[in-house]
């Protein structure tokens, strides 16, 4: 089994507190349904900066990476199937699935 990062990009912010709670409840149910497959259920990213060799600036791109989760799966195809069920996709966002390589 291999770890895969499910990276979240873009997506729409909830328009109300109730909508936000509904999205959170869907996400919690998704995580619970993954059982032992989930390694890291989710890490939101905030206050992102973009660096180059000569500059640092705020990342104001609405389609920037918003967070990530880590799942354990047999293959990237299996990880993609897990990601397809992620409720983040219902919020207009996109997901990238990447195999993680363990560095020793």
pLDDT, mean of residues 8-12: 93
* Tens digits of residue pLDDT in 77-93: 999 999 999 999 999 99
Q: 3-state secondary structure string, the chain? A: CEEEEEEEEECCCCCCHHHHHHHHHHHHHHHHHHHHHEEEEEEECCCCEEECCCCEEECCCCCCEEEEEEEEECCHHHHHHHHHCCHHHHHCEEEEEEECCCCC
pLDDT, mean of residues 12-41: 94
Please say whether the dihedral angle defined by the alpha carbons of residues 44, 78, 33 and 1, taken in this order, is positive or negative: negative
Structure tokens at 42: 């989710």
* pTM of the model as a whole: 0.89
> What pLDDT, on a 0 to 100 scale, did the predictor assign at position 86?
96
Domain locations along the chain: 2-99
Superfamily of the domain at 2-99 = Dimeric alpha+beta barrel (3.30.70.1060)
């Amino acid at each position: 089994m291999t770890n895969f990062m499910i990276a979240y990009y873009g997506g729409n912010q909830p328009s109300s507190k109730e909508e936000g709670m509904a999205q959170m409840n869907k996400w919690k149910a998704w995580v619970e349904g993954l059982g032992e497959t989930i390694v890291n259920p989710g890490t939101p990213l905030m206050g992102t900066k973009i660096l180059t060799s000569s500059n640092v600036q705020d990342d104001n791109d609405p389609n920037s990476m918003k967070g990530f989760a880590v799942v354990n799966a047999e293959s990237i195809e299996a990880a993609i199937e897990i990601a397809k069920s992620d409720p983040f996709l219902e919020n207009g966002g996109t997901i990238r699935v990447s195999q993680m390589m363990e560095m020793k």
